[in-house]
Amino acid sequence: GAGVSQSPSNKVTEKGKDVELRCDPISGHTALYWYRQSLGQGLEFLIYFQGNSAPDKSGLPSDRFSAERTGGSVSTLTIQRTQQEDSAVYLCASSETGGGYGYTFGSGTRLTVV
């Protein structure tokens, strides 16, 4: 596609429920990233996928968070047993290579846990 597409754009869920967030990167971009943006906290790195290499999961805050990327394209970020502190905007980005020279971000998914 022309840009990075994320869905849903907004998600309200009850505490304890599982949620899935989807990212469709720019076609041909081998690198895909998930970041979390909380009010006043800046962007926090979550996970990085590059081609067929093992993902860098070092930013995932707990084992309730997981992500996969199928066929080197679409990625899904799953949060199990959501907590109120998980409320944030989840941003996906992609780049042609390692991204050291810039990402293209999606519009994000605003997650609210009530």
Partner 1 sequence: TQLLEQSPQFLSIQEGENLTVYCNSSSVFSSLQWYRQEPGEGPVLLVTVVTGGEVKKLKRLTFQFGDARKDSSLHITAAQPGDTGLYLCAGKASGGSNYKLTFGKGTLLTVNP
Helix (H, G, I), strand (E, B) or coil at 65: strand
DSSP string, 14-57: -TT--EEEEEE--TT--EEEEEEEETTTEEEEEEEEETTSPPB-
Q: How far is the CB of 38 from partner 1 (least distance, A)?
A: 10
The smaller minimum CB distance to partner 1, of residues 53 and 81, is found at 53
13 near partner 1, rule: CB under 8 A: no
Nearer residue to partner 1 within complex by CB, 14 or 39: 39
Indicate the residue among 79 and 108 with the shorter CB distance to partner 1. 108
Kindly state whether residue 52 participates in binding partner 1, applying the rule CB under 8 A. no
Q: Give the residue, chosen from 13, 55, 56, 72, that forms a contact with partner 1 under the rule CB under 8 A.
A: 56
- Give the position of tokens 């690198």: 31
Place of tokens 């999961």: 57
Question: Total number of residues binding partner 1 (CB under 8 A)?
Answer: 26
Could you say whether residue 54 binds partner 1 (CB under 8 A)? no
Residue whose C-alpha is closest to residue 90's, from 79, 102, 80: 79
Cβ–Cβ < 8 Å for 31, 48? yes
Residues that bind partner 1 (CB under 8 A): 4, 31, 33, 35, 40-43, 45, 48, 50, 56, 91, 93, 95, 98-108
